[in-house]
Amino acid sequence: MSSREKPAPYLPFDGGRFRLMMGLMPLAPAEWIERDAHLAADLAAKRHLLETRHAEVFAALPEAADPAGELLALLVEHLLRHHAAVFTREGAALANAATGERWDLARSDLHPLDLAGRLVQEDFCLLLPEGESYRLVGATLCSPARWRLAEKLGRPLGPIHDPVPGYAAKLGRPVDRFFAALAPERPVWRLNWGIADDPAPFQPEAGPAAPGVTAENAGERLWLRVERQTLRRLPATGAVVFTIRTHITRLGAAIAAPAGAAELAAAIRDMPEETRRYKRIAPVAERLLAWLDTRAG
């Protein structure tokens, strides 16, 4: 969730091409949740947001109650099986060795979706079928990339993605068909990326472009923001769980090799102008490309 100086874990530039596509890949169930050495720090940042801005980062409609309970049970089982070095069960309590927290799963005052979001670095969104589409019925969202949960809650996938250039024409129907066919035993994952001038994970709205970015300092002033997203269906309630794990890396650390710089530059040049504007790349594109071209050698 937090920003990093180390190399980026993902460089999803598709060989230097830009294509508006789902880009789904099969997900091994054991790899559903990511965990790294920053777990405690990231959970502390989440806890601060949940304590100070709860209404902005958590919301659930009444119909989210049963799917949220199923999600929490599935998540606890996953953590105990695949992250046993950190998570242990003590009677009805789940213990996190990284933070020292103990969660009473039988008598928690928290909504199960809220509790699920406090256990891991991922954000969670719950979607339920409505007609031929799916509707967002709940989320714990501490790392939004220029969208507000309150404005999306209760809305179907199409209207949720209205700001995305080309979504309705190219992805609307394929996404709806995919959601309808998603099987519980076949989870998937994908990557989404952008360039940011602010390393904060919590960015519900776009502010003015940061001044002072030049062709010489773009590697220090800009950040690569990558979302690792997963989709899986809950077998009992039929809800779809959408997870978002956000990785933010200073651009100079993320793009350390000439090949990576050349690939990112090609992807940006291949990107439609309306997509550059949507991703907030347009204001710095010329200077960013100059920096990348220099790094590419």
Residue 23's nearest CA partner among 174, 208, 203 is: 174
Q: Determine the pLDDT at residue 16.
A: 78
Which pLDDT tens digit goes with each residue over 221-240? 999 999 999 999 999 999 99
SS (H, E, C) 238-261: CCEEEEEEEEEEEHHHHCCCHHHH
Q: Which residues is 233 bridged to in the sheet? A: 240
Q: Determine the pLDDT at residue 273.
A: 94
Q: How confident is the model at residue 206 (pLDDT cuts 50, 70, 90)?
A: confident
Q: How confident is the model at residue 213 (pLDDT cuts 50, 70, 90)?
A: very high
Residue of 163 and 59 predicted with greater confidence: 59
Contacts of 277 (CB under 8 A, 6+ apart): none
Which pLDDT tens digit goes with each residue over 106-153? 989 999 999 999 999 999 999 999 988 999 999 999 999 989 999 999
Q: How confident is the model at residue 2 (pLDDT cuts 50, 70, 90)?
A: low
% residues pLDDT > 90 (the chain)? 85
Helix (H) or strand (E) holding 295: helix 285-296
Q: Determine the pLDDT at residue 7.
A: 79
Backbone phi and psi for residue 210, each to the nearest 5 degrees, phi listed first: -65, 135
With 90 as the cut, is the pLDDT of residue 20 above it?
no
Classified as helix, coil or strand, 126 is strand
Q: Tell me, what amino acid is at 136?
A: L
Question: Structure tokens of 94?
Answer: 């789940």
Tell me the domain boundaries of the chain: 3-296
Q: Determine the pLDDT at residue 3.
A: 61
Q: What is the mean pLDDT of residues 256-263?
A: 93
Residue 295 to residue 297: CA distance in whole angstroms: 5
% residues pLDDT > 70 (the chain)? 97
Residue 112 to residue 43: CA distance in whole angstroms: 16
Q: How confident is the model at residue 17 (pLDDT cuts 50, 70, 90)?
A: confident
Mean pLDDT of the chain: 94
Question: Structure tokens of 185?
Answer: 């035993």
Q: How confident is the model at residue 1 (pLDDT cuts 50, 70, 90)?
A: low
Residue 56's nearest CA partner among 144, 179, 164, 165 is: 144
Asked if 231 contacts 182 with a C-beta cutoff of 8 angstroms, the reply is yes
With 70 as the cut, is the pLDDT of residue 166 above it?
yes
Q: What is the mean pLDDT of residues 97-102?
A: 96
- Any idea what the Cα angle at residue 243 is, between residues 4 and 171, rounded to 5°? 110
Helix (H) or strand (E) holding 79: helix 65-82
Contacts of 240 (CB under 8 A, 6+ apart): 126, 127, 128, 134, 179, 182, 231, 232, 233, 234
Asked if 137 contacts 154 with a C-beta cutoff of 8 angstroms, the reply is yes
Supply the DSSP symbol for 296.
H
Q: Determine the pLDDT at residue 6.
A: 72
